Amino acid sequence: MTSEQYSLEVEGLCAAYGGVPAINNVSLKVARGSVVTMIGANGAGKSTVIKCVCGLVKPTAGSVRLFGEEVTGLSPDRLVQRGLAVVPEGRRLFVDMSFKENLELGAYTIKDRAAIARNMERVLALFPDLKDRLSTLAGSFSGGQQQMVAVARALMSEPRIILLDEPTIGLSPAMVERIAELITEISRTGVDILVIEQNAEIALEISDRGYVLEGGSVIAEDDAKTLALSEDVQKAYLGT
């Protein structure tokens, strides 16, 4: 596979907080048209990988390539312009603003009002359960609905790849299923996805490929179905 066949290539990434290493030599790839997951326990370093990729944490070593181009160290804004969107842990919604205003803020890199309106229509088609609630304050939605608002907001910048940081955390089983369906639907629209999760079961179910992060390093990678059947993964992450 040539480089352009990957939307994201992370190679030998290291990062530290105040000199204390958080991730060490992490490499991963997202092939075009795929959903990839990185699973791992609390504190394994998953969020740090995402933060390095989206320009929020400066890696101490390693490189990040987006659609074949080196982007290590670019600012989050520049990365959005190159087709990357992130749904951060904890969603970071503007809770005192309406759903519609949150969507408009997601399109901040797009200046053409007509294009923003078209995007909103396209994005809302994925959220039939919310599309009639554009004037509702984001903070008054349920946890699961807020997660959907955060995903919808990220889609407003017309990303080609989206990074999701623990999208199912704290949600009811029904809502976890809904978010999982949504991820599959988004992938079918041609947006590649990297999802990091503590919920390994759902993450491996919806992904093509998976990586296991432990103590800041990748300890296993394989296609998601094979990983889900691995005895080590089952014992450590699937509670079986």
Nearer to ligand ATP, 51 or 153 (CB): 51
Residue 157's nearest CA partner among 107, 229, 225 is 107
**10, 13, 22, 191: residue in contact with ligand ATP (rule CB under 6 A):** 22
Buried b or exposed e, range 166-177, using 16+ CB within 10 angstroms: bbbeebeeebbe
> Is residue 24 involved in binding ligand ATP (CB under 6 A)?
no
Q: Tokens 């407003």 correspond to what residue?
A: 156
Q: Does 38 bind ligand ATP (CB under 6 A)?
A: no
Stretches 41-49, 63-71, 174-182, 183-191: which one binds ligand ATP (CB under 6 A)?
A: 41-49
Give the amino acid at 126: L
91 binds ligand ATP (CB under 6 A): no
Q: What gap in Å lies between CA 175 and CA 100, rounded to an integer?
A: 22
Site for ligand ATP (CB under 6 A): which residue of 30, 36, 44, 87? Answer: 44
Question: For residues 17-46, b (16+ Cβ closer than 10 Å) or e, as one string?
Answer: eeeeebbbebebbbbeebbbbbbbeeebbb
Instruction: Determine the Cα–Cα distance for residues 203 and 196; give it in Å rounded to an integer.
Output: 8
Using CB under 6 A as the binding rule, whether residue 240 contacts ligand ATP is answered as: no
Instruction: Map the footprint of ligand ATP across residues 188-217, applying CB under 6 A.
Output: 198
Q: Minimal distance in Å, beta carbon 6 to ligand ATP? A: 23
Smaller CB distance to ligand ATP: residue 28 or 107? 28
User: Collapsing DSSP states into helix, strand and coil, what is residue 115?
Assistant: helix
Q: Does 47 bind ligand ATP (CB under 6 A)?
A: yes
Q: Does 55 bind ligand ATP (CB under 6 A)?
A: no
Task: Closer to ligand ATP by CB, 68 or 170: give it.
Answer: 170
Tokens of 190: 């041609």
Q: What is the rounded CA–CA span in Å between residue 188 and residue 109? A: 24
The residue among 128 and 239 lying less far from ligand ATP, judged by its C-beta, is 239
Closer residue to ligand ATP in complex, CB, 137/169: 169
Q: Which residues bind ligand ATP (CB under 6 A)?
A: 17, 22, 40, 42-48, 89, 198
